[in-house]
Structure 1
Amino acid sequence: MVMALSLRTAVSVVPPLLGELKGELGFTAATTGLLAMLPPLLFATFGLVTPILIRRFGLEKALIAAVVLAVAGQLGRATTDAVWPFLGLTAVVMAGYGIGNVVLPPLVKKYFPDRVGIVTAGYVTLLAVGTAISPQLAVPVAGATSWRVSIGMWASISFMVLLPWIMQFVRDRKKKSDAGTTAAAPSSAGAGSSQHLRPWRSPVAWGLAIFLAGNSAQTYVYFTWLPPYLSGQGVDAATAGTALAYFAILGLPVSLLVPLWVPRMKNPIVAISLFALCWATGHLGLYLSPLDGTWLWVTFAGLGQGTFATALLMVNLRSRTTHGSSVLSGFSQGLGYAGAGVVPLVFGSIHDATGNWTVSFALLGVCLLVMMTGAVMINAKRYIEDSAAEPASS
């Protein structure tokens, strides 16, 4: 739960402080754009690398490495005096959290196999809380202290993650030592440890990656472009910023609902279609009538974020083993974030090229179609182990 709370704070705390960072560190338009690209780029890279780390070192060691990177990067960038060290240390933070993104679903499957839904509900909800709370506190804390304290203080939450996991790691080692076998403690690889999984052979893995890419692309567009779009339509800057905060907060109720509701459904695509309809209503409303019913359209789009909670849940619903969960988590998040990360840039570039928002909003429609294509592929109850398994050589 604490790990989930910390996963987005270091990302969302920076944008509200960019004004101060530009003056003190020398951020330009180019380096600001690079800063915005680091989270999806590093999340994608380490999404693909983390299953290898998990297979070699185990879930717990991978998680501890993720936290160490996050803490070191956050503390380091809070003390730097130049833009490029700040960017480099931000990359270290995002590498840590890229690993953290991947290890959470298989950790849930390993330690809470009979309570996947409720534990997923808890951690996805806290993920949304962390995303929403750090930008709200960023400016007040910076005003009372400095931007360095405002950015660096979130390392304390990341550090707190180490304490229970070090205790758990020591306890698992003691159990292995006492029993003389790994069977006494939960196995990092799970029942599928005798098999190598090739996720690119699995329609489920591709489906989840496509689904996550379509979903995350829409979310990234809203976090990047909702305030400037509304401001350009005549909404004052403060209200536009509040609309984005409201959009983020709406992720909380759906994050809590989805893992408790969707596992009971024979066809998850029914719930996904409902959330997709919310997305579509929000997109159309904001394009056709941004000033009349603004809050209604943002409400619909915000409720559409239930698709993200569904994606994280499906990692465990479409895998049989902890190893399968880690491979599916890494593959889907790696490709999903890579695909989604470029969409906000394209969204803005299309607007600059055409002078209007029509084609840009049409791009959101394409993202919806991509998402629903992935939803069809993951709807049937089948598992990554069914098509991706390759027996390990003896």
Structure 2
Amino acid sequence: MVTARPLWQGRTLALIGIVLVAFSLRSAVASLSPVIDHVADDFPVPPVVIGLIGAAPPVCFAVFGLLTPLFERRFGLERVAVTAIALMAAGMLLRGFAGESVGLLASTALVFAGVGSGNVLLPPLVKKYFPDRIGLMMTVYSTTLAVSTFLPPLVAVPVADSLGWRVSLGMWGLFAAIALVPWVGLLLRERAAPTVAAAESVEDDPTDGRHDMQDAVAVATGPISTAPANRRSFGRLWRVPLAWAVAVVFATSSTMAYVSFAWMPAMLVDIGEVTPATAGFLLSLFALVGLPCSLVVPVLVVKYHATRPLFFVGVTSGLIGLLGLLLAPTVALPLWVCLFGLSAIMFPLSLVLLSIRSRTPESAVALSGFVQSIGYAIAAVFPLLVGLLHETTAGWQVPLIVVGSVLVLSIPAGIVAGRRRTIEDEWERRHGRW
């Protein structure tokens, strides 16, 4: 059993690094679309490019969700994290220098390559450096993600109006560049001999006799010691129902988010009879609902094992919100948007499950890569599908029904994901030793 210790003790760099990277993961995605009209004033941005930019996040997340565990096994968590952060920073800075649409698309793809790896790496990094504070750190992580989702749309346009769209896009790269500092520091720290660090820790702390040498290393260097990575872990997950269940919950959450950010403003203008400015505000409201979810969900899951109740709250609220938009869109429109926004409960829920449904940071990397690659691959389909259905039916009724069907079909996965066991437990029950 891991003994809880102060959050800052021996792992300040990891704490700062996780917060800064989490902020960059979402700001990279949310900072472009609000200023695309400003970009189009400087050079043409064809609809096909806009469509590709919109589809790029889940596609890149799926691809790098598959590749990142392979890189992690070869180079280690911290080295791959530094590379991912560097890609994000470079891509966001290069977006500010784009001179034509192809350059904008290429730099955006570079950004999302880094973000795709970062999505996979952050939960295992939390598990590695904060095994005694997983609930709290997943709250910090998911809350930072929520803040960085609704903050860029609020400031991107004013900054673009006053300083230009290049500054508005490029400034987010500075945050990613700053995030490199603590992780480079952790890499340099790891080069020191762990036995020396452990000896110094024991010598300086007279109470450390209560701990063994492994605990001393953890206090001195931050990470807990870990078992060697199992090269077959990722492949085994294809045969573990629990892994598929977590993947479907994550896919459902991602589908709700990407469909909403792609189509909610246009939909609300059409069916809610509101102005584009009001529709933009309601989209921010939709994103803001995720903030309290990020604050409370990780603690409720880790401390009270409330996976299934929280999942059903998210599904039920989302269905009620969609039903309101379908049947009475001009009545209590903000209420329907907020209720649908509560489907965001499933996002921090999925993030916590990546940690608590695995035994080690290595298996958490495998599970994270599996879940996010599958989840984002599924989520990439629905924004395009919703647009096609809207165009062919000349309305929003069929797209709303399809989105609601995704929530309903995810219910069995939510039940399985609520099982209080790890992927290793499930494998060993079915196939023997992990």
Q: Tell me what 1:24 maps to.
A: 42
* Unpaired stretches in structure 2, ≥5 consecutive residues: 1-18, 199-212
Q: Tell me what 2:205 maps to.
A: none
Q: Tell me what 1:240 maps to.
A: 279
- 1:164-179 matches, cutoff 5 A: 164-176=182-194, 178=196
Q: Tell me what 1:299 maps to.
A: 338
- In structure 2, relative to structure 1, the CA distance for the partners of 1:66 and 1:122 (3 Å cut) is same
Task: Give the drift of 1:145.
Answer: 0.8
Q: Distance in 1 between matches of 2:238 and 2:258?
A: 25
Structure 1 position 74 matched with structure 2 position 92:
yes
- 1:1-394 matches, cutoff 5 A: 1-176=19-194, 178=196, 184=217, 190-191=226-227, 193-194=229-230, 196-197=232-233, 198-233=236-271, 234-266=273-305, 268-388=307-427
Q: Judge which range, 82-91 or 266-275, deviates more.
A: 266-275
Q: Which has the larger radius of gyration?
A: 2
Question: Given residue 68 of structure 2, which amino acid in structure 1 is its aligned partner?
Answer: T
- Number of matched residues? 392
1:49-101 alpha-carbon deviations (Å, 9 max, x no partner): 11111111111011100011011111112112011111011101100011110
Using structure 1 for the length normalisation, give the TM-score. 0.94
Task: Give the drift of 1:196.
Answer: 2.8
1:197-250 alpha-carbon deviations (Å, 9 max, x no partner): 121121111111111112211121111111101111211111111000111111
Structure with greater contact order relative to length (CA < 8 Å, sep ≥ 6): 1
User: Is the CA contact (8 Å cut-off) linking 1:189 and 1:322 kept in structure 2?
Assistant: no
User: Is the CA contact (8 Å cut-off) linking 2:230 and 2:362 kept in structure 1?
Assistant: no
Question: Given residue 152 of structure 2, which amino acid in structure 1 is its aligned partner?
Answer: S
Q: Judge which range, 136-145 or 357-366, deviates more.
A: 357-366
Task: Give the drift of 1:177.
Answer: 7.1
Equivalent residue of 1:382, what SS?
A: coil
Task: Give the drift of 1:306.
Answer: 0.9
Question: Given residue 73 of structure 1, which amino acid in structure 2 is its aligned partner?
Answer: G
Q: Distance in 1 between matches of 2:179 and 2:142?
A: 16
Question: Given residue 113 of structure 1, which amino acid in structure 2 is its aligned partner?
Answer: P
Q: Distance in 2 between matches of 1:179 and 1:115?
A: 22
Q: Distance in 1 between matches of 2:97 and 2:231?
A: 46
Using structure 2 for the length normalisation, give the TM-score. 0.86
Question: Given residue 307 of structure 1, which amino acid in structure 2 is its aligned partner?
Answer: M
Q: Distance in 2 between matches of 1:293 and 1:63?
A: 44
Q: Distance in 2 between matches of 1:41 and 1:282?
A: 28
- Report the identity percentage: 38
Question: Given residue 381 of structure 2, which amino acid in structure 1 is its aligned partner?
Answer: V
Q: Distance in 2 between matches of 1:177 and 1:99?
A: 31
Q: Distance in 2 between matches of 1:371 and 1:211?
A: 6
Q: Distance in 1 between matches of 2:393 and 2:95?
A: 38
1:349-369 alpha-carbon deviations (Å, 9 max, x no partner): 112112222221111122102
Question: Given residue 244 of structure 2, which amino acid in structure 1 is its aligned partner?
Answer: W
Equivalent residue of 2:193, what SS?
A: helix
Equivalent residue of 2:420, what SS?
A: coil
